[in-house]
Amino acid sequence: YRALGADAARAMTDALRRAQPDWTEHDLAGAGAEALWRRGIHPALTLVGGERRLPRYRHPTAGPERLGERAMLVLCGRRHGLYASLTRFVYFRDPTAEERRLTEDVARVEAAAWAASTPGATLGAAYARIVETYAALGHSGAELDHHQGGTTGYSSREALGLPDQDTRIEANTALAWNPSLPGAKIEDTAITGEQGIEVLTVDPDWPTATVEGRARPELLVV
């Protein structure tokens, strides 16, 4: 699983470092799929949102529009039955202060979800922490705009975090939380353990910022 996560993260980096603002969303989705296939990973899902659609849609299937000044790429790859999911952003300009704020906010929501994802806890309890953290950051109700993720492993999501979801998190449970706000999202695949969370979809070449003591993906500005 660690090897899959690392390879999926490298595929993401390769695709977004190649991307150009005059590419279409289809072009970027194709580049992401190609980068996965080159590593023996089946692209189970690719999502792309360019400048215009990014603030409007949380789950944007790729279309024929040009990317413009920024884009989001979502990859969900399968190899040997296991799934790894991750989301990253590329900017062809400097991000605005508001874009950076939203990026920081989704990372804080994710950190709260992971802090609640301890062996013995339920997905419902982790979801409640997500809801609370959105509200504390001034985004009450944001959890209603898209699902927030949940357990993964042999499916892109095996059980979603939802109110009263009583599925228990165990040691070595695979999780992929994906908090989002307009134009901002964070997603990685991780494993829970007695020592905490181990993020699997990591490429050391991707820029990071420290959030709650953990390196998290930054916006890639090219």
* pLDDT digits 0-9 by tens, 24-65: 999 999 999 999 999 999 999 999 999 999 999 999 999 999
Q: Which domains does the chain have, with CATH numbers?
A: 2-221 (3.90.230.10)
Q: Residue 42's pLDDT is what?
A: 99
Q: Residue 194's pLDDT is what?
A: 74
Of 21, 19, 38, 39, give the one whose Cα is nearest residue 29.
19
Q: Give the burial class of 120: count Cβ atoms within 10 A of its Cβ; 0-12 exposed, 13-18 middle, 19 or more buried.
A: exposed
Q: What is the pLDDT of residues 159-204, one digit of tens each?
A: 999 999 999 999 999 999 999 999 999 999 999 987 899 999 999 9
Identify any residues that bridge with 221 across adjacent strands, giving them in sequence order. 91
Q: Residue 206's pLDDT is what?
A: 99
Q: Residue 54's pLDDT is what?
A: 97
Instruction: Provide, rounded to the nearest whole percent, the portion of the chain with pLDDT above 70.
Output: 100
Q: Residue 158's pLDDT is what?
A: 97
Residue 91 has pLDDT above 90, yes or no: yes
Pairing of strands 180-181, 196-199: unpaired
pTM: predicted TM-score of the whole model, two decimal places = 0.97
Q: Residue 1's pLDDT is what?
A: 98
Residue pair 11/75 in contact (Cβ under 8 Å)? The answer is: yes
